[in-house]
């Protein structure tokens, strides 16, 4: 299994859409089941020196979909949005906003290069099929945040 993040700007909004893309690289024909939900991903924003950008403390009021296990076909890929903004912000701020939930949101300044990276961990569960239920940890490659 491989996965990566991508970012997309939105017209007239400071929020970036964050997507995750999975690719089934198993040599076993058949569907792979992935029990993804936002709690399985631990993201961080860092500058070019690796210094973390802290999450702002403020108002939060957002919703997110109910997540069901995903089925990924043999040699297939799937890409979907994992950001559903609820972070409060002032319109006069000159920042880019990334919102992956109340514990994972950032106001990214325009003063230097910043990057989003994440670790995805889906633990093995009792009854998992050894070839069709995916579990494990993936380090998702960092992606540059378009701040300029």
pLDDT, tens only, 7-37: 999 888 899 999 999 999 988 888 999 999 8
Query: Closest Cα partner for 83 from 16, 28, 142?
Result: 16
Q: What percent of the chain has pLDDT over 90?
A: 66
Backbone region of residue 110 per phi and psi (left: phi > 0; alpha: psi in -120 to 50; beta: other values): alpha
Q: How far apart are CA 44 and CA 32, in angstroms?
A: 27
Query: Closest Cα partner for 35 from 144, 128, 131?
Result: 128
Summary mean pLDDT of the chain: 91
Q: Decide: 33 and 134 in contact? Cβ < 8 Å.
A: yes
Structural domains in the chain, sorted by start: 2-145 (2.60.40)
pLDDT tens digits, one per residue of 81-104: 999 888 888 777 888 999 998 889
Q: Which residue has the higher pLDDT, 84 or 2?
A: 2
Q: How far apart are CA 89 and CA 50, in angstroms?
A: 25
Q: How far apart are CA 69 and CA 125, in angstroms?
A: 13
Cα–Cα distance list, 48 to 12, 45, 54, 111, 145 (Å):
27, 10, 15, 11, 11
Say if residue 148's pLDDT is above 80: no
């Amino acid at each position: 299994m491989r996965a990566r993040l991508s970012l997309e700007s939105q017209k007239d909004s400071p929020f970036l859409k964050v997507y995750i893309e999975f690719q089934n690289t198993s040599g076993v024909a058949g569907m792979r089941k992935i029990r993804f939900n936002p709690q399985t991903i631990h993201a961080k924003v860092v500058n070019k020196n690796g210094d973390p950008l802290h999450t702002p403390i403020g108002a939060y009021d957002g919703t997110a979909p109910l997540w069901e296990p995903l089925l990924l076909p043999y040699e297939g890929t799937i890409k979907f949005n994992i950001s559903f903004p609820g972070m409060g912000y002032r319109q006069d701020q000159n920042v880019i906003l990334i919102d992956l939930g109340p514990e994972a949101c950032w106001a990214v300044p325009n003063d230097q290069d910043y990057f989003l990276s994440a670790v995805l961990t889906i633990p093995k569960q009792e009854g998992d099929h050894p070839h069709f239920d995916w579990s494990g940890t993936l380090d998702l490659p960092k992606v540059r945040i378009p701040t300029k």
